[in-house]
A = this chain, B = another copy of it.
Amino acid sequence: MTSPAFGKAEYQARVAAARKRMADAGIDVLVVTEPANMCWLTGYDGWSFYTPQCLLVAQALDEPVLIVRGMDANAGKVTTYLDHGNILGYPDHYVQQPDRHPMDWVAEEMGRRGIAKGSLGLEMDSYYFSPMAYEHLKAGLPNCRAVNANNLVNWCRSIKSPAEIAYMREAARIVERSMAVGIENVSPGTRQCDAVAAIYDAQIRGAGGVGGDYPAIVPMLPTGIGASTPHLTWSDERFKTGEATILELAGTRRRYHCPMARTVSLGKPPQKLADASAVICDGIAAALEAARPGATCEEVEQAWRRELAKSGFEKESRIGYSVGLNYPPDWGEHTMSLRPGDRTVIRPNMAFHMIPGLMLDDCGIEISECFLITETGAECLCDFPRPLVVKT
């Protein structure tokens, strides 16, 4: 059993913030389908997002309405503050059928509640809102005008409350311990899966007296030639001397993430890997110096890029993103990115994961920091040595 992670007043303030953004965008009803947004607004927490579900936030209704699969309605009662009259389960015969969709039922319920009209905000690029859901919802709501409300709630999440920051600090303790366990277990002759088993144990057992939640991404463990690409998971092959392994992990507490990446070389690394480590460490330090209230996201990236330009390395992809509460498949918030063109002004209590990896032809390296914006600058949530770890 899991009680809500925050007090009712905090959830209500979040709903008010979402309503304000809805009003600014002229939206009457918002159909929230992203699990992190549903959780942020109500506390709803269960692995039920593999069947369609949503939270209706309507200007005309006092409280949001949670609609999930019938068997998951009790999960709403256990994990949210919502009045039980606002927690609804749709019948099971809507699940995974070619000729009907749970969104048909949602549209009918909107009619029953008198909110099947006006401007309808939809999270158009949400993982758990499919084109079929979109088509059925539009067909069932002929008096609504669909508008793209993608990331509307995600943007509300970008500035963290003190209670959210407290969870992220707990997550930081968990990832420090998990990374230490991971580095210890990347050794010649150890199977990759055995190292990951030890990492998972640390991630879930937690640290500092609190248990860990499941991270939105499994441990990433590209090794050898596989480390030339960042998102491979493990196999049961054994670590070999002469190869480098990237570890990208998160500590997670009540769905709040603190990610960290480090790289381990078994044996003396090739010179280019040692050089890349030095460039990344210099670049992270420069970017952290640039990250402060009033700076823009792209200015932080420029500070990194100036360091990078001194080296022979190149990097096309962004170096970081906003992070916090999330569910699989991603712990990033999909709002701010540290990259050219993102002119979002940084404000206190934003949180980022900066991960300037360098993928080379036949190996790769990632080193990252998760940091919080303070009143005057940036504070790394973790205290963990950055350079390439060389085990000889």
Contacts and interface: CB of A to CB of B under 8 A. Distances in A.
A131 B350 CA distance: 29
Given A330-B50, A337-B96, A232 B134 contact: no
Contacts of A228: 74, 78
A374 interface: no
Among A48, A130, A210, the one with the most B-chain Cβ atoms within 10 Å of its Cβ is: A130
B359 A2 contact: no
A125 interface: yes
A225 B2 CA distance: 10
A328 interface: yes
Given A194-B205, A205-B193, A236-B211, A46 B328 contact: no
Contact of A328 (B1, B197, B328): B328
Interface stretch (A10-18, A213-221, A257-265): A213-221
Interface string A186-209: 000001111011101111111000
A49 to B, nearest CB: 6
Contacts of A45: 232-233
Interface in A37-79: 45-50, 70-75, 78-79
B218 A214 contact: yes
A149 to B, nearest CB: 11
B128 A132 contact: no
Contacts of A233: 2, 45-47, 213-214
A88 B59 CA distance: 45
Contacts of A73: 229
A132 B127 contact: no
Interface string A117-158: 000001011111111111100000000000010110000000
A99 to B, nearest CB: 10
Interface in A211-265: 211-214, 217-218, 220, 223-226, 228-237
A197 B201 CA distance: 4
B129 A50 contact: no
Contacts of A47: 217-218, 220, 231-233, 329
A375 interface: no
A391 interface: no
Contacts of A328: 328-329
A133 B194 CA distance: 38
Nearest to A2: B235
Given A98-B150, A124-B131, A125-B131, A78 B225 contact: yes
A204 B329 CA distance: 19
A159 B54 CA distance: 33
Contacts of A128: 127, 329
Pairs of residues from A and B, 7 with the lowest C-beta to C-beta distance, nearest first: A193-B211, A211-B236, A74-B229, A50-B330, A92-B317, A200-B200, A131-B134
